[in-house]
């Protein structure tokens, strides 16, 4: 059952007060920064902005896990990048809500609708700065959700999610050409072929799209831990001069804002 707005706001407030002093560098403590919640039988974790101020407006970052996070335990969806986002330095430099839903199947649009309902209940949200990122199945979901409602998002960062070998292509460049996209992929990926990401970049170039592609040379499918901190072996290409050339991922992400 959908939680009432007033109840959720109380829970968020309690989380802000009780977790602000936790040390996310501790393996046991960083997970506690993400409050476990449920909406419409969908588990999710919520990390509020550090040093919350009701007079401010905060962006929201939606984190979509890959197939390894599937289930209903409300825990396996917390991945390497959610731990990196919980670092005190990142929380201080880029204060935001992080929502990490969990799916026991795929990232159906019904789950997107549930996440929207969660965002509607959060206090002090900047609706012009809703971001989404995900790896593998989560990268696939990032493309699906942004194509379904591109105007809802300010930016998206799908990783290794452009499709599988032998399956129909599903990314529609025309629908996403105006959304700031930063796509990540290892060029030796045997699960989700890199060629599809490279083709997407070429399609976006033809459309004058707002997309960047970071290629990790010699890397396979398991590259999700590289998204937030970056890597010296990466090569980033821009589809057009519309793209923000900022090389640091979190700086780029939190600069994006809907007009």
**The token pair that represents 101 in the structure block:** 């839903």
Across 3-7, average pLDDT: 40
Q: What pLDDT, in 10s, does the model give residues 27-79?
A: 558 999 999 999 999 999 999 999 999 999 999 999 999 999 999 999 999 99
Query: Using CA atoms, how far apart are residues 204 and 173, in angstroms rounded to an integer?
Result: 6
Beta strands in 50-91 (DSSP E): 58-64
Q: What pLDDT, in 10s, does the model give residues 117-138?
A: 999 999 999 999 999 999 999 9
Across 155-183, average pLDDT: 92
**The token pair that represents 201 in the structure block:** 């970049």
Q: What is the pLDDT of residue 251?
A: 97
Beta-carbon contacts of 186 under 8 Å, excluding residues fewer than 6 positions away, are 160, 194, 215, 216, 218, 219, 220, 221, 223
* Percent of the chain whose pLDDT exceeds 70: 89
DSSP H helical ranges for 123-244: 137-148, 173-176, 194-207
- HEC-encoded secondary structure of the chain: CCCCHHHHHHHHHHHHHHHCCCCCCCCCCHHHHCEEEEECCEEEEEECCCCCCCCCCEEEEEEECCHHHCCCCCCCCCCHHHHHHCCHHHHHHCCCEEEEECCCCCCCHHHHHHHHHHHHHCCCEEEEEEEEEEECHHHHHHHHHHHHCHHHCCEEEEECCCCCCCCCCCCCHHHHCCCCEEEEEECCCCCCCHHHHHHHHHHHHHHCCCEEEEEECCCCCCCHHHCCCCCCCEEEEECCCCCCCCCCHHHHHHHCCCC
pLDDT at 18 over 80: no
Structural domains counted in the chain: 1
Q: What is the pLDDT of residue 17?
A: 40
Average pLDDT in the chain: 90
Q: What pLDDT, in 10s, does the model give residues 211-220?
A: 999 999 999 9
Q: What is the pLDDT of residue 25?
A: 43
pLDDT at 95 over 90: yes
Of residues 19 and 132, more confidence is placed in 132
CATH number at residue 164: 3.40.50.1820
Q: What pLDDT, in 10s, does the model give residues 218-258?
A: 999 999 999 999 877 789 999 999 999 999 999 999 999 99
Query: Using CA atoms, how far apart are residues 145 and 147, in angstroms rounded to an integer?
Result: 5
Query: Using CA atoms, how far apart are residues 5 and 11, in angstroms rounded to an integer?
Result: 10
Q: Which domain holds residue 106?
A: 5-255
Query: In the structure, what pLDDT confidence band is assigned to residue 6 with cuts at 50, 70 and 90?
Result: very low
């Amino acid at each position: 059952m959908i939680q009432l707005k007033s109840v959720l706001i109380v829970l968020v407030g309690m989380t802000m007060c009780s977790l602000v002093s936790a040390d996310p560098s501790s393996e046991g403590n960083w997970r506690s920064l993400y409050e476990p919640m449920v909406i419409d039988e969908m588990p999710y974790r919520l990390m509020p902005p550090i040093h919350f101020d009701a007079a401010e407006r905060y962006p929201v970052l939606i984190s979509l896990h890959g197939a390894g996070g599937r289930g209903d335990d409300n825990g396996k969806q917390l991945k390497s990048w959610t731990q990196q986002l919980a670092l005190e330095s990142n929380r201080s430099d880029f204060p935001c809500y992080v929502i990490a839903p969990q799916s026991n199947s795929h990232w159906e649009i019904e789950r997107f609708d549930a996440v929207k309902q969660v965002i509607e209940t959060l206090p002090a949200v900047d609706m012009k700065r809703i971001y989404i990122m995900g790896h593998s199945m989560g990268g696939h979901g990032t493309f699906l959700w942004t194509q379904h409602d591109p105007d809802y998002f300010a930016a998206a960062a799908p990783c290794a999610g452009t499709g599988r070998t032998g399956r129909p292509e599903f990314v529609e460049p025309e629908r996403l050409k105006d959304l700031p996209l930063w796509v990540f992929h290892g060029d030796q990926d045997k699960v989700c072929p890199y060629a599809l990401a490279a083709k997407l970049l070429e399609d976006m170039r033809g459309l004058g799209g707002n997309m960047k592609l970071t290629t990790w040379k010699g890397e396979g499918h398991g590259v999700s831990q590289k998204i937030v901190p970056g890597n010296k072996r990466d090569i980033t290409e821009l589809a057009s001069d519309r793209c923000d050339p900022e090389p640091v991922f979190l700086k780029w992400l939190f600069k994006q804002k809907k007009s």
